[in-house]
Chains A and B, each alone.
Chain A
Amino acid sequence: MSTLAINASLSSSLPMILQDKRTAVLKHIAQSERLDSVRSASRLEVRPKPEMLSVGIPELDAMTGGIPRGCLTEICGAPSSGKTSVLLATIAAATRREEACVLIDASDSFDPSSGEAAGLNFNKLLWVRCGKSSSVPSTRSTRSGQAENGRQSSANPNNSVFPNRANDQRLTANDFRRPRKSNENRLEQVLKSTDLILQSGGFGLVALDLAGIPDKFVRRIPLASWFRFQRAVEHTKTALLVISEFSCSQTCAALVMKLTAVSCQPLAKSTVHNPTHESKLDLVHHAEPICGSSRKAAACESPAWKRRVEEEVNIESRKGRHWICETNENGSNDKKPSREGANDISPSLQRWESEKKISSPVGTAESSFSHVPSRKPSHAQVLKEMQIEAEILRSRLVHDEHRKPMQSVRTSFSTQAVRAG
């Protein structure tokens, strides 16, 4: 009982003592001269608005105002969601403004033909292709930043005049046997290259393409690296753009957008459901010079082409049977007779027939050519367009004076497939 009474008296007096102490401490702090230079959070000035860089897509520019200079912007999305298309459009817009751009390609997957179709000025683009083991072996660091292989770092023969062939061979062999090492090597190269590029300065746009790297490796990029990149571009004219399959830079990104492929129009209906008719037109087009190339026209007359058509005709011209052809990775064909579609006509045979039409000097060849301009087959028809929806996941940019953009802002646009090459 007595213990309970003591506890009750303490519990009643303790808050009073604490409150007195708190009041005294606050008074002491308020009298401190250092507080004069400290502003309260409510009076903090709004960050200056960053300069915006056009993405090259009017819908995205209208939604986000572009991508900010001096900040980190992230565009994420699943495969075939259109993020690479947006990346190319952004680089193309920057190179049109005569700005020097860098593309640090983690998976070495940039297609120069797509870049040219997007309007890139290659003279303004520095393409860093990661993935190959460099001639200078590097110390592979773990997440903690320590050297993974102490023997390798201590016996570093880089300083010698003798080439380090044994070490190079070992690295290459490891990379070949263990693809995991290859991904780590790629990421290490990406981080090093990005550091070097950002330290160099002067680039208008630095783009990191991490889309081809598996998630588990991208997640290993320490947050400190993203902070370092963000601090490196802060107060500069450089816009840092990261594309990946998921948001990986976390709070360091000033703007995070997610892209989703809503739909894609694969091809004209007739091509899907009526391959017989379209395949004729395909071949009619193929017999003519594609893209105005006389070399391709010559290729159509090549022995290889004729041999190929003959082989296909020999295989598939067996009447009354339709073959399901399975080609394995080694190139050998395994054929099984199908129970269905016994009366279908082989497309290769029709191509052969249509080619014979073209090669004949009279008759139907002229009418076949007359169809070409209206139904010119291309990847624009094969893969016509992709409808893409963009959503802002996170934004620290101040559009209005009083509010930030709502996170549920969405927009949609489409990308057109083109045939390059």
Chain B
Amino acid sequence: MSFACIFVPDFPVEAVLRAEPELRSQAVAVLEGKPPLQKIISVNEAARKTGVAADMTKLQIEGCGEIVLRDRSEFQESAAHQALLDCAQSFSPRVEDAAGDTLLLDLSGLDKLFGSLPKIAREISCRAWQMGLGTNIAVANTLDAALLAAHGFSEVTILPEGKEPEILGGLPVEVLFADGTEFAKDRDEILETLRRWGIRKFRDLAALPAVALSERLGQRGLELQRKACGGSHRTFVPCDPPLVFEEAMELEFPLVLLEPLAFLLSRMLDQLCARLQSRSLAAQEIHLEMTLENGRQQDSERTVFQRAIHLPVPLLDAKTFLKLLQLDLKAHPPGAPIIKIHLRIEPAKPRPGQAGLFIPSTPEPEKLELTLARISAVVGEARAGSPQLLDTHRPQAFEMQRFVLSDSARAGTPVSPDIDFEGTGVLARTAEHHYSNGKETSEALVTALRIFRPPIAVTVNHQNGRPSHLTSKRHNQIAAEVLWAAGPWQSSGDWWEQDAWVRDEWDIAVQEKTGITLYRLIHDLLRGQWLLEGSYD
């Protein structure tokens, strides 16, 4: 059995640095508490070198140089912990959530997948760094040995079997209480006792006689000595972390422009996509929630601005997501300065990518989504999509639906191409297929109607009950005698509804400058209007 421990030192600071990676080169300290009683709970290495330590107050560190101070954010720490879990889950399905900053992994049998244990440990470290977290990794045969080594040694530590006491012997005895054991409440008392005995290192404690230690410290002493020797009675408790992919950021200053917002969204999307990739998942929905400044307390809906982007296929491309969010926010601005951003992604299994040689080429889903969003920004929302006729006889009853290429188009049955490779110019097989059946041909070749949106109101003169002349005030080109008129096609419906319709339809031919034009003329009997609905073309 081999176990690995992932430990994030200075976890509150690492959570802040993960959200703001540009601060890594600076001295950062995290404060907790209400002003003016704020105290530092965590500092990074650069701040530690300037003399800042935990439990210092804000006033005490004023003379310690230029230090970036951040308030503790539980949501950032939660997101960092989730990222750590995703990192561990990408290597092993058996993960124990030991603490917020500590995870234990069962590495049994993984050497065939990922290589030797040192290689696995280095890969875990690299993956965690990619997710914005600096970690200590330790691999050992026992859980406690791995845990103590991760807390005691920086970066990657490998404890070979049987050499645990030797390697752990140099660690200070304070590390024994780093894992939050049941003796943590007696930590100060035991440490004081050991200090009086002159015990400073693990090896000093391991060298004490067990009986004498038991007589003075009881079972606590024996347990600490066992841990100092690299032994363990700890049981591995694997967890099943929920698939929660969300990031949040509280801003110090309200954002008024969308461009700086895009930078923050890009960073959050990068982190979320890295987490999704580590779980071999893709995004199905993106939910953006922003808390706005100056929101009225009574009206909570106006305080929080929410947008959701539903993707037709699972995608995993941070740039695509960012562009979609940008276009959506341009079309629907929040309306007030932003003080908090919360981004959540609903995961889904990635789509299969199997394709075929004879499948017609289709747009790539990522490009198609961006193209549709850009076109919607140009022509207006819900004006680019697939029309779907409604189940009614009401004229011009259709709705626009989202244009989604079905999976059959991408991975469905291959369609044999009816292309003239021989260059004869005639598509013999296609013609045979489509035109051998006369009925199908007659159905396919129809006289199309071009709809006027909105319809053109006209003045109609009648003769013998038929339209004989029509003019339009707004369209000067329509003022002519009707060459022939056919109809009426009478239709009505929905008389039980508010928007009932009763109308007569005429097909008329009108001589115009360019020639004879065929129009569909309708007489709205409820409103008493004559309208040109469209032209045949």
**Chain A residues packing against B (C-beta within 8 Å):** 49, 51-54, 56-58, 61-62, 64-66, 78-85, 87-89, 92-93, 96-100, 107-119, 122-136, 138, 158-164, 189, 192-193, 196-197, 199-204, 211-212, 237, 245, 261, 264, 266-267, 271-272, 275, 282-283, 286, 290-291, 293, 295-296, 298-300, 302-305, 308, 316, 322-333, 338, 341, 344, 346-348, 377-379, 381-383, 385-386, 399, 413-419, 421
Q: Is the CB of A418 within 8 A of B466?
A: no
B113 at the binding interface (Cβ < 8 Å)? no
Q: Is the CB of A118 within 8 A of B459?
A: no
Of listed A161, A322, A413, residue having the most chain B CB within 10 A? A161
Q: Chain B nearest CB: distance from A382 CB in Å?
A: 4
Checking B258, B337, B450, B523 against A111 with a beta-carbon cut-off of 8 angstroms, the contacting residue is: B450
12 contacts between A and B (CB under 8 A): A51-B421, A78-B514, A109-B453, A126-B372, A127-B400, A161-B256, A196-B378, A272-B486, A299-B495, A327-B529, A330-B529, A417-B507
Kindly specify which of B17-25, B77-85, B88-96, B423-431 makes contact with the partner chain.
Answer: B423-431
Q: Is the CB of A299 within 8 A of B371?
A: no
Q: Is the CB of B515 within 8 A of A416?
A: no
How far is it, in angstroms, between the C-alpha of A219 and the C-alpha of B413 when the chains are bound?
43
Checking A78, A158, A326, A330 against B460 with a beta-carbon cut-off of 8 angstroms, the contacting residue is: A326
B334 at the binding interface (Cβ < 8 Å)? yes
Q: Is the CB of B367 within 8 A of A299?
A: no
Residues of B within 8 A of A113 (CB): 389, 395-396, 398, 449
- Contacting A at CB under 8 A, from B144-191, are none
- Contacting A at CB under 8 A, from B369-422, are 370-372, 374-375, 377-381, 383-389, 392-398, 400, 403-406, 408-409, 412, 415, 417-421
Closest partner residue, chain A, to B399 (CB atom) = A112
Q: Is the CB of B381 within 8 A of A135?
A: yes
Q: Is the CB of B379 within 8 A of A134?
A: yes
Task: Report the contact-size class of chain B (Cβ under 8 Å from the partner).
Answer: 35 or more
- Contacting A at CB under 8 A, from B229-283, are 255-259, 261
How far is it, in angstroms, between the C-alpha of A100 and the C-alpha of B361 when the chains are bound?
8
Checking A111, A347, A382, A414 against B449 with a beta-carbon cut-off of 8 angstroms, the contacting residue is: A111
Chain B window 511-525, contacts with chain A (Cβ cutoff 8 Å), 1 for yes, 0 for no: 010111110000101
How far is it, in angstroms, between the C-alpha of A113 and the C-alpha of B409 when the chains are bound?
24
Q: Is the CB of B447 within 8 A of A108?
A: no
Kindly specify which of B60-68, B216-224, B434-442 makes contact with the partner chain.
Answer: B434-442
Residues of B within 8 A of A131 (CB): 379, 453
Q: Is the CB of B385 within 8 A of A126?
A: yes
Residues of B within 8 A of A124 (CB): 405, 409
Checking A136, A344, A421 against B464 with a beta-carbon cut-off of 8 angstroms, the contacting residue is: A344
Checking B336, B451, B518, B529 against A331 with a beta-carbon cut-off of 8 angstroms, the contacting residue is: B529
Q: Chain A nearest CB: distance from B33 CB in Å?
A: 32
B535 at the binding interface (Cβ < 8 Å)? yes
- Contacting A at CB under 8 A, from B435-494, are 435, 441-453, 457-466, 472-473, 484, 486-494
Q: Is the CB of B450 within 8 A of A109?
A: yes
B500 at the binding interface (Cβ < 8 Å)? yes
Q: Chain B nearest CB: distance from A158 CB in Å?
A: 6
Known contacts being A160-B256, A163-B333, A202-B367, is A134 close to B378, with CB within 8 Å? yes
Q: Chain A nearest CB: distance from B414 CB in Å?
A: 9
Q: Is the CB of B534 within 8 A of A324?
A: no
Q: Is the CB of B492 within 8 A of A300?
A: yes
Known contacts being A135-B381, A261-B516, is A302 close to B495, with CB within 8 Å? yes
The 3 A-B residue pairs with the shortest CB-CB distance, nearest first, are A331-B528, A302-B495, A202-B363
Q: Is the CB of A109 within 8 A of B464?
A: no
B368 at the binding interface (Cβ < 8 Å)? yes
Chain B window 321-334, contacts with chain A (Cβ cutoff 8 Å), 1 for yes, 0 for no: 00000000111111
Residues of A within 8 A of B452 (CB): 109
Q: Chain A nearest CB: distance from B498 CB in Å?
A: 12
How far is it, in angstroms, between the C-alpha of A292 and the C-alpha of B203 when the chains are bound?
94
Q: Chain A nearest CB: distance from B516 CB in Å?
A: 6
Residues of B within 8 A of A49 (CB): 423
Q: Chain B nearest CB: distance from A173 CB in Å?
A: 17
Q: Is the CB of A98 within 8 A of B387?
A: no
Closest partner residue, chain A, to B423 (CB atom) = A49
Q: Is the CB of A418 within 8 A of B447?
A: yes
For chain B, what secondary structure do more than half of its interface residues adopt (helix, strand, loop), or is it mixed?
A: mixed
Q: Chain A nearest CB: distance from B519 CB in Å?
A: 8
How far is it, in angstroms, between the C-alpha of A114 and the C-alpha of B383 when the chains are bound?
19
How far is it, in angstroms, between the C-alpha of A344 and the C-alpha of B255 when the chains are bound?
78
Known contacts being A62-B426, A83-B537, A327-B459, is A415 close to B529, with CB within 8 Å? no
Q: Is the CB of B384 within 8 A of A128?
A: yes
Residues of A within 8 A of B374 (CB): 196
Checking B333, B393, B397, B472 against A161 with a beta-carbon cut-off of 8 angstroms, the contacting residue is: B333
Known contacts being A196-B375, A261-B515, A329-B457, is A114 close to B427, with CB within 8 Å? no
Checking A61, A88, A328 against B427 with a beta-carbon cut-off of 8 angstroms, the contacting residue is: A61
Q: Is the CB of A80 within 8 A of B536?
A: yes
B526 at the binding interface (Cβ < 8 Å)? yes
Closest partner residue, chain B, to A57 (CB atom) = B445
B360 at the binding interface (Cβ < 8 Å)? yes
Q: Chain B nearest CB: distance from A211 CB in Å?
A: 7
Of listed B359, B397, B462, B466, residue having the most chain A CB within 10 A? B462
Residues of A within 8 A of B537 (CB): 79-85, 211
B364 at the binding interface (Cβ < 8 Å)? yes
Q: Is the CB of B447 within 8 A of A54?
A: no
How far is it, in angstroms, between the C-alpha of A203 and the C-alpha of B450 when the chains are bound?
24
Q: Is the CB of A329 within 8 A of B431?
A: no
Q: Chain A nearest CB: distance from B534 CB in Å?
A: 7
Q: Is the CB of B420 within 8 A of A304?
A: no
Q: Chain B nearest CB: distance from A193 CB in Å?
A: 5
Q: Chain B nearest CB: distance from A74 CB in Å?
A: 16
Checking A115, A159, A193, A304 against B379 with a beta-carbon cut-off of 8 angstroms, the contacting residue is: A193
Residues of B within 8 A of A322 (CB): 464
How far is it, in angstroms, between the C-alpha of A193 and the C-alpha of B330 when the chains are bound?
18
Q: Is the CB of B527 within 8 A of A331?
A: yes
B36 at the binding interface (Cβ < 8 Å)? no
Residues of A within 8 A of B431 (CB): 54, 58, 61-62
How far is it, in angstroms, between the C-alpha of A304 and the C-alpha of B494 when the chains are bound?
10
How far is it, in angstroms, between the C-alpha of A414 and the C-alpha of B153 when the chains are bound?
86
Checking A81, A325, A413 against B462 with a beta-carbon cut-off of 8 angstroms, the contacting residue is: A325
How far is it, in angstroms, between the C-alpha of A164 and the C-alpha of B368 when the chains are bound?
27
Residues of A within 8 A of B473 (CB): 329
Residues of A within 8 A of B381 (CB): 135
Q: Chain A nearest CB: distance from B116 CB in Å?
A: 44
Checking A138, A283, A415 against B378 with a beta-carbon cut-off of 8 angstroms, the contacting residue is: A138
Of listed B377, B430, B488, B534, residue having the most chain A CB within 10 A? B430
Q: Is the CB of A308 within 8 A of B525?
A: yes
Closest partner residue, chain B, to A243 (CB atom) = B537
Closest partner residue, chain A, to B404 (CB atom) = A123
Q: Chain B nearest CB: distance from A364 CB in Å?
A: 20
Residues of A within 8 A of B384 (CB): 126-129, 193
Q: Chain A nearest CB: distance from B509 CB in Å?
A: 7
Q: Is the CB of A266 within 8 A of B444?
A: no
Known contacts being A126-B385, A196-B374, A329-B530, is A305 close to B446, with CB within 8 Å? no
Q: Is the CB of A80 within 8 A of B495?
A: no
Checking A89, A129, A164, A421 against B445 with a beta-carbon cut-off of 8 angstroms, the contacting residue is: A89
Residues of A within 8 A of B427 (CB): 52, 54, 61, 65-66
Closest partner residue, chain B, to A63 (CB atom) = B425
Q: Chain B nearest CB: distance from A421 CB in Å?
A: 5
Q: Is the CB of B386 within 8 A of A126?
A: yes
How far is it, in angstroms, between the C-alpha of A302 and the C-alpha of B442 when the chains are bound?
35
B199 at the binding interface (Cβ < 8 Å)? no
Known contacts being A202-B368, A203-B363, A383-B536, is A305 close to B465, with CB within 8 Å? no
Q: Is the CB of B495 within 8 A of A329?
A: no
Residues of B within 8 A of A129 (CB): 379-380, 383-384, 400
Closest partner residue, chain A, to B258 (CB atom) = A159
How far is it, in angstroms, between the C-alpha of A151 and the C-alpha of B412 when the chains are bound?
52
Of listed A138, A417, A421, residue having the most chain B CB within 10 A? A421
